[in-house]
Structure formats: structure tokens, C-alpha cells
Amino acid sequence: MALYLKIITPMRTAVDTEVSSILVPSTQGEMEVLPGHTDIIAALDNGELTYRPIGGETKSVFVGGGFLQVDKGHALLVTDTVLEAHEIDSSSIEAAVAKAQEAFRNQASVLSREESTHLAAAIARQLAMLEYRRKKHI
């Protein structure tokens, strides 16, 4: 028995394959989805998603949050970011994080709550990308 996985972004279909398992970074912690999983909708966090294609080796990608819907043997993940480890440029992300953290410290008192939350979320996403890349030893 297999599970059909499709990961889409506004720009492309990143994954479209049959799998034997999926491990996702839900907002409630890691969640494994296997064939026969109950129907569910889950919010995802930034982090590593791993999946095992039928007859293949385990693969992983970084996902920038989103939503996962499992319905009758199909898993659809909608996100705005899907990257493989080699697609993440550590030096540019580190520079962007440092600049954003400095701006956050210097402008914290003049930023609106919404701006502050948005900036903190952007920093968290960038740091999660770096962690994923380091974990993959690239």
C-alpha cells in the first residue's frame, strides 16, 4: 500500500510521487504519515520534511511552513518554500539574519506589533534553513 505525496508552492510542483512514509515538521511536533493514515489537516512549521519514495532512498527537503492535508491515501502539502540542502546559500542567509537581527534590536521600539512579528518570523525561517543545511553537512 502506498501514499501519494504532492508538495506545491505558488511557483511549482516540488514533489509528485508515491511514498511509503512522510515525516513532517508540524506545529505540534514531528508527525509521521503512513499509508492508511486517517484524514487530517495539519499546520506545518519551518523545517525538514523527509519522505521515502516507493522503491527508493529516503529524501528530504526544507519546507517553510504551510499546511498538509491527508485525504484517502493522498497527502497534499501547500507551502511557499521548498528547498533542497544544496539550494540554500549559508553565507547570504547568515548575512541577512545578522542584518535583520540588528534592525530588530535597533528598531524594536518603533516597529508595530505586526512588523515585529513578521520580522521575528522571517529570522526564525532563515535560522531553520541554516540548521537544515548544517544537518545535511553541505
Residue 116: φ, ψ to 5° = -65, -45
Tens of pLDDT, residues 67-99? 999 999 999 999 999 999 999 888 888 888 888
Q: Please give the C-alpha separations between residue 70 and each of 28, 110, 113, in angstroms, as whole numbers.
A: 16, 42, 34
Q: How far apart are CA 137 and CA 7, in angstroms?
A: 24
111 burial (CB, 10 Å; 0-12 / 13-18 / 19+) is: middle
pLDDT digits (tens, 9 = 90+) for 19-70: 999 999 999 999 999 999 999 999 999 999 999 999 999 999 999 999 999 9
Is residue 138's pLDDT more than 70?
no
